[in-house]
Amino acid sequence: MIGITRLFIIFGCLYGLVVTAAEPRPKVGLVLSGGGARGIAHVGVIKALHEKNIPVDYIAGTSMGAIVGGLYAIGMAPDDLEWAVKSVDWDKALNPGSPRVLKNYRQKQEEKDYFTELEIGISKEGAKSNVGLVGDHRVMLELQRLVGNFNVQNFDDFPIPFRAVATDLNAGVPYVMDHGDLAMAMRASMAVPLVFGPVKHQDRYLVDGGILNNLPVDVVKAMGADIVIAVNISSPLGQVDDKSSVISVTYQSIDVALVQNTKESEKWADIVIKPALKNILPNMFNRADDMITDGYLATYAESEQLASLVLSDYDYQSYLETRNFLPREIPSRIQFVRFEGNNRTSSARLNEHASAIIDKEFQAGLVQDFVDQVVAAEPDIQNITYKVVEEKNRRGIELKVQEKRWGPDYLRFGLKVADDFDSNTRISVLVRHQRFNINSKGGHWTNDLSIGSVLAWESELYQPLDFSNEYFATFNVEAIKDTKRLYQGLDAVGEYDHKRYGMGINVGHNPTRNSELRAGLWFKDESVSPVINDLSFKTAVDDTVGLKINYGIDTLEKTIAPRYGYDLQTELGIFDRVQYVSFDGFQRFPFFESSAAHVRFKFDFTDLVDDGEYFKAYGGVDDFAGYPTDSLLGLNMFIMEAGWFTDLDQIILPILGAPDLSVKAHWGNVWQRHINIENMLYGLSAGISFDIQNNVLYLGSGYSRDGDLRFYLRLGTGF
C-alpha cells in the first residue's frame, strides 16, 4: 500500500512539472512614449531589459518612441540602437534650410538680405505658405538611412510586431500604422504641428501621435500583450502664473492635453518606467549619454516588478534566435537613377544632377548627400525620398520628388532698422518675389522691393545656358532712391535724395559652387536732389555707358556671425565718363571652440572724375565707426579692419538667446581725387549681436580719430 502511495506522489510531481513546462509565458508588450529628444532614454530601457533577459513580444510607440521602437522591432541589437540614435546629427536634420555649404554663390548672396525661411507662395488659388517651419527632407533621409531598404511592408512580420501611432488631423482620432513604409510611419508619428508639416498616408493627413495618444498602452494590448511595460519620458508640466508670457501659456495649453492622455494610459499599464531626465528638455539631443543612463537606471529601479518576466539564459537565447534582422535590399552599385513626381522642375536638370552618382558604390550617406545637394540647388523642391528598385536586371534608386505646394511664385520679407541715436532712424521693409523654372534650363525671375527710407526696385532675369548652370546670362534693371543726410564734419546741414538708375545685360560663369564671374554692358545714371536746404554737388556716375565686370567668392560657414571662411567681392567699371575698381573682402580665422579673428580690406578707386563730385558715401558702424552713417563723401576710399569675434554661450537671455561679442579696430580714410596716406583715420568699435530666428539685433558703439563716440542699433536682415 505504501509503495502504491509513493508511486502516485511521484507521478503527481512529474505531471506538475510537465504542465508547468508546457504553460506558455505571458506575452510582453513594450510601450514607448513621445517626448522629443528625451525619447533617447528608451534606448537605455531596452538595454536594461536585454541585460535582464526580459523578452519583448510587441512594441507600440509614439513620436521618438516610434523611432526607437521601430528600429528595435526590425532586429537592431541594443548596442546598435544606441549607435543609431547617436549617429544622427539632429541639429542639422531639424535645420529649416539647406546647409550653406551646399548653396551656390548666387543663393548665398540672396540670403544676406532675407535670412528668414518664411516663404509665402502665390498661385491661382491665392496665397499659401508651408505648413511647417522645418523642412522635413533631411529628417526623412536620416530615418531611411537608419531603417534601410527591405521588402517587408506588414509590421506584424517584423522580428517584433510593431505599431506607430499618429493623429489623423481630419478625423480627429489616433491613427495606428501597422503596414507600409516604416520610415514614413516614423516620420508621421513625430510630425509635431507647426514644426513639421503633416504626412499624407492613404488619403489621411497625419501629425504627431502624442496629441491624442502619447503612451499607446491600448494599442499594444490590442496586439495581444498580456503584460505591458510602459515607458513615459514626456516632459512634466511647467508652472504658469500672472508673469508668464503668451508663448509660455500657449505651450502649457498644448502640454496639458498631452500630459492628461499620458496619465490615463499609465493606469492601464502593468509596469510603468519613468526615467528621471532632470533638467533635460525635448530639444537637448546633445544629452544622449545622460538620457540613456537615466533610462537604464530607471529600469533597474523596477527590478522587483520585472522579476517575474525574466527568462533563463537558455530560454532568452532561444527567444533572440527568433529575432532575425530583416534582410536589406542593397545594390552593389547605383546602375540607374530615376525621378518621379517632378512637374515644374525639368527632368533634364534632375538627370544632370544624377550623373554624379550613377555607377558609384551604393552608400546611404552618398544618397543623402546627393539629395541634399539637389534640394539645395532646386528651389521649387520641398523634399525627396528614395527607394531601391530593380529594372531589367539592373538595380538603382527611385527618387520621389515633392515640389512645394505653395508655388510657383514666392514672396519673402525682410526688415532693416538702423539708428545712430541722433534722430536719424532709417527703416525699410523688404519684399522679394521669385519665380523659378520658367523654362527647362531653370531660368528664374527675381524682383526686390524696398519701401521706407530706401525706395528701390531691382529686377533680374537669370537664364542658365546649360543644364548644369555652369554658364548663364542675365538682364538687370534697378531704380533706387536713398534719402541721406549731408554733413559738414560731424554736423548734419541738410538732407538729399541719392537716385540711381541702371540697366544691363550680362554673361557669366560659375567656376565653382562658391564663386561667380559676370561681365556685361550697362547704362548707369545717378543724381542728387536736395530735400532739406539747397545742396549742390554731383555724382561721379552720370548718364554713362560701359563695361561692368564682377567677381565674387563666398565660403563663409553661415551668414550670421561666421567663425570661418571668407567673402570677397570685386567690381570693375570701365565707362565713358568714369572708371573705377571696388573691392570688399573679409576672412574669419577660427580660434578655440567659439571665437574667430577677423581681417577685412575694402577700397574704392576712381578715374576720369573731378573734385567736387562724389562716388560713394561712407561712415557708420560698417566702415568708419565714430562717424555718422554716410557722412564721409569721396571719390576714393581705403579701410583695413582687424578684430575678434566670440560667442558668449554662457549667457542665455530669454527670447534673445546667446549674444555674440565683436571688437574691431580700423585704419583708413576717404579722399577726393588726391590720395594722402599721411592723415589716416583710425578707431575702435565693439558691440553685441543676437541671432533671433535668423534676424540680427546689434547694439554697439564706435570711435574714430577726428570723429566722435557714437552708438549704433541695427535690427532686421542684411547687416
* Pairing of the two strands 579-591 and 565-575: antiparallel
The three cell numbers of residue 478 are 534697378
Instruction: Clarify whether 63 is annotated catalytic.
Output: yes
CA distances from 462 to 295, 436, 631 (A): 55, 10, 35
CB of 501 closer than 8 Å to CB of 531:
no
Residue type (1 letter), 360: K
Cα distances (angstroms) measured from residue 261 to each of 197, 258, 630: 23, 5, 60
What's the angle, vertex CA 96, arms to CA 107 and CA 255, rounded to 5? Answer: 160
Nearest to 636 by CA among 615, 655, 662: 615
Q: Is 649 a catalytic residue?
A: no
* Count of C-beta atoms within a 10 Å radius of residue 76: 23
Tell me the three-class secondary structure of 393-462, residue by residue.
Answer: CEEEEEEEEEECCCCCEEEEEEEEEEECCCCCEEEEEEEEEEECCCCCCCCEEEEEEEEECEEEEEEEEE
- For 145, phi then psi, to 5°, come to -65, -45
CA–chain centroid gap for 234, Å, is: 25
Residues 689 and 660: their CA atoms lie apart, in Å, by: 5
CA 43 to CA 107: how far, in whole Å? 40
Euclidean distance between CA atoms 142 and 149, whole angstroms: 13
Half-sphere exposure of 27 (CA within 13 A, CB side): 13
Which residue, 631, 446, 607, is CA-closest to 541?
607
Give the angle subtended at the CA of 337 by the CAs of 332 and 342, to the nearest 5°.
150
CA distance linking residue 237 with residue 256, whole number of Å: 7
Choice among 63, 189, 428, 582 that is catalytic: 63
Contacts of 593 (CB under 8 A, 6+ apart): none
Q: Identify the active-site residue in 181, 208, 218, 554.
A: 208
| H-type alpha helices, 182-229 | 182-189, 210-213, 217-223
Report the alpha-carbon distance of residue 164 to residue 216 in Å, rounded: 9
Q: Cα(498)–Cα(486) distance, rounded to whole angstroms? A: 11
C-alpha cell at 566: 571668407
Q: What is the DSSP letter of 287?
A: G
Cell numbers of 47, please? Answer: 538595454
List the end-to-end C-alpha distance of the chain, in Å, as a whole number. 105
Per DSSP bridges, beta strands 162-168 and 173-177 are: antiparallel
* Residues with active-site annotation: 63, 208
